[in-house]
Structure 1
Amino acid sequence: MGAAGSSALGRLGLPASRLPAQPRPGWLAVTALGLAAVALGTVAWRRARSRRRRRLQQVGTVAQLWIYPVKSCKGVAVSAAECTALGLRCGHLRDRFWLVIKEDGHMVTARQEPRLVLVSITYEGDRLILRAPGMDQLVLPGKLPSSNKLHDCRLFGMDIKGRDCGDQAAKWFTSFLKTEAFRLVQFEDHMKGRSSKKIFSTLVPNYQVAYPDCSPIMLLSEASLVDLNTRLEKKLKMDQFRPSIVVTGCDAFEEVSTSRRL
C-alpha cells in the first residue's frame, strides 16, 4: 500500500498493519498448469491415434456382395450395400427378408423344395421381380400394405412373424412347386428377430436374425473354397454356400478369425 493510503487510514484511526496483504497472482500458475495439461493431452492423443493408424492392416479385399431376398432362391449381386444388424441392405432389397411358408406357418426351404433354387430375382426401383421356368414373372412391392395379414411362422423350432405378400404370390409359388399350398411372407424391421444363441449357442455370438439360418451376414473367402475343393471329388461352387460377402487376398479360412475381431 502507498504512503498516502497509510496516512489516510491513520487519520481514521485504523492501523495499516491490520489490512489484509495483497493476494499473490496464483491464477497465473493455475492457468499455466492448465495449458500444460492441455498440451500434454493433445500430444498423447495424437500419438495414440498415430499408433492406431499404424496397427491397421489389410486382411483381404471384398470381391462380391450378394443379397438373397427370398430364402433359398437365387441371389442378387450388388455393387454396394449397407451392413445392418439384420444383414445387408441395398434400398428396399434386404437379405432373406422373404420366406415361403406352408399354410400352417412352417418354413419351406430348398431342403424341402429343391426347385426354389431355380427362382431368380431382379430388383427394379422398389419392386422385386421373380422369375422361374415355365412361369410368368411375379412382381412384389418392396414395402407391403400394413393391412396385409400377419402370420406366426416357425423356423428351426423358433417363432417369428411375417407379413403376407398376398394371394397372387401364394398362387405363384403353389403353381411352381406343385406339391401343396404355400404362401410368401415378408419380415419387417419392427418385428422381433430370432436369437442366434438359441440356434447354435456354442458357435456364434448372439445376433438377432430374420429368416437366415443363424447369422445376419456370412463371410466366405475364395481361398477357403479352393482349399475345400482339394479335399472333394465333386467340386463345389461359391453360390452353393450363399455367402453375403466374398473375400479375396487372404489365406484359406482366415476369414473365421478376421470376422471374430470385427
Structure 2
Amino acid sequence: MSGAQGALGLSLQAARPRWLWGAAAGLLLALGAVLGAWRWRRGAGRRRRFRLQRVGTVLKLYVYPVKSFRGLTVPQARVTLMGLQSGELRDRFWLVTKEDGHMVTARQEPRLVLISVGSEDGCLTLEAPEMKKVCVPVKLPRKNPVLNCRIFGLDIQGRDCGDEVAQWISTFLNSGPYRLVHFEPSMVPRKSKDIINLFRTTDEVAYPDCSPALIISEASMEDLNTRLEKKVKVENFRPNILVADCGAFEEDTWEDILIGDVELKGTVCCARCILTTVNPDTGVLDRKEPLETLKSYRLCDPSERHIYKSSPLFGKYFAVDKTGTIRVGDPVYKIIQE
C-alpha cells in the first residue's frame, strides 16, 4: 500500500465512526418521529401507556384580555389552568360592567368588538375609532375598590380600573355609565362546573363564559362559509386556538389532546348565541347570520338537549390538564389510552 493509500485508508477509518454515529442519530430521529407516539405518564397511582395520533396543526392563537373586545393574534402563548396568557395579558381577565356589577358584553353593546387591546410598559392599552389611546396599569393601586360582579348569574370579584378608562368606554359607546374591572390572582374564580355540570370541580375561569380554552378548526369555518351568502370570519366565534389539517367538525370528537407540552381535556361543544352575529369589523349586530344557518345543520342530538337546548354547536371547549406553552405550527395530537 502506498503512503497516499495508507493515509486515505486511515482518514476513512477515522471518519467512519463519525459517519456511523451521524447515520445512527438520523435513524433514531426518524424512528422517534414514527414511534415517538408511545409515551408513559403517571396517573391514578399507576403508570399508563398511551400513544399519540396527529390530528392537526395550530394555525392561529388568540388571546382576548378584555371580554368582548378585539382579540390579539399571538405567535405563542402560555397556557395556564385558567386560560391563555401572552406577556402580562391573560385571556378575559378584564371585564366591562354596569355600575351595579352586572357584566356588559357585545351582546348588549356590539361596538365593544371594535376596541383593540395591547400591552405597553406594564399597562393594558385600549384604542378605538376616533378615540385617543388610554392606558390602564395591569397592577392596579390597592386603593382602587374591589367590586362584586355578576356573570351569567354567578358572583365574582374585580378591582375597579378607575374613572378615566370608565369614562373612555362610556364615551366611545355613547352609553353607560360603565366600569372596567380586573381579576386578580388573589380573587376567587368561578367554577366551570357551576355553569355546565360536565366540567370537573377543578376547572375554573375568571371572566370567560365557562372554559379556559375554545378550539375551532379551519375546516369547520370553511364548511360554514360554503353555506352562507356572506362569508364570516373566525373572529365572529372568538376561539383561542384555530387548527388546520383536519376535517370539518373533527374537533368535536377530541377528548384528550396534546399541543406542545400542554395537555387539554375536551368537555362540551360550544353552544352559540347572538354574539356570533356581531360583525367584528363594523360592530354591527345582524341578529340572524351565521346563527340561522348554523341552526339548520348544527343542532345537538335530541339526547343532549338538556345541555345545549336549541343552540347550534360550533367549536369545542377544553379544560387544562397540564400547563405549558403552545406555538403556531405546533402539531395537535390526540392522546389515545392503550
Q: Which amino acid aligns with 2:215?
A: L
CA contact (8 A) 2:63 2:90 kept: yes
CA contact (8 A) 2:38 2:52 kept: no
SS in 2 for 1:183: strand
Offset of residue 126 of structure 1: 2.2
Q: Which amino acid aligns with 2:163?
A: D
Aligned residue among 99, 103, 109 for 1:107: 103
Offset of residue 192 of structure 1: 1.1
SS in 2 for 1:60: strand
1:128-178 Cα offsets, whole Å, 9 max, x none, are 211111211111112212221000000001100000001111111111111
CA distance in 2, matches of 1:225, 1:79: 21
- Structure 2: tracts of 5 or more residues without a match: 1-35, 41-49, 258-263, 265-338
Moved over 6 A (4+): none
Offset of residue 51 of structure 1: 4.0
Larger radius of gyration: 1
Aligned residues: 214
- 1:83 and 2:70 are equivalent in the alignment: no
1:73-108 Cα offsets, whole Å, 9 max, x none, are 101111111110111012211101100000000000
Q: In the alignment, which residue of structure 2 is the partner of 1:159?
A: 155
Aligned 1:89-238 pairs, distance under 5 A: 89-202=85-198, 204-206=199-201, 207-238=203-234
Offset of residue 259 of structure 1: 4.5
Q: Which amino acid aligns with 2:166?
A: A
More strand by share: 2
Q: In the alignment, which residue of structure 1 is the partner of 2:39?
A: 52
- Structure 1: tracts of 5 or more residues without a match: 1-48
Computed over aligned residues only, the root mean square deviation of the Cα atoms, in angstroms, reads: 2.1
CA contact (8 A) 1:92 1:143 kept: no
Higher RCO structure, 1 or 2 (CA under 8 Å, sep 6+): 2
TM-score (norm 2): 0.60
CA distance in 2, matches of 1:234, 1:259: 32
CA distance in 1, matches of 2:90, 2:184: 10
- 1:61 and 2:57 are equivalent in the alignment: yes
CA contact (8 A) 2:37 2:52 kept: no
Q: Which amino acid aligns with 1:151?
A: L
TM-score (norm 1): 0.76
More helix by share: 1
SS in 1 for 2:216: strand
SS in 1 for 2:213: coil
CA distance in 2, matches of 1:260, 1:176: 42
Q: Which amino acid aligns with 2:179?
A: R
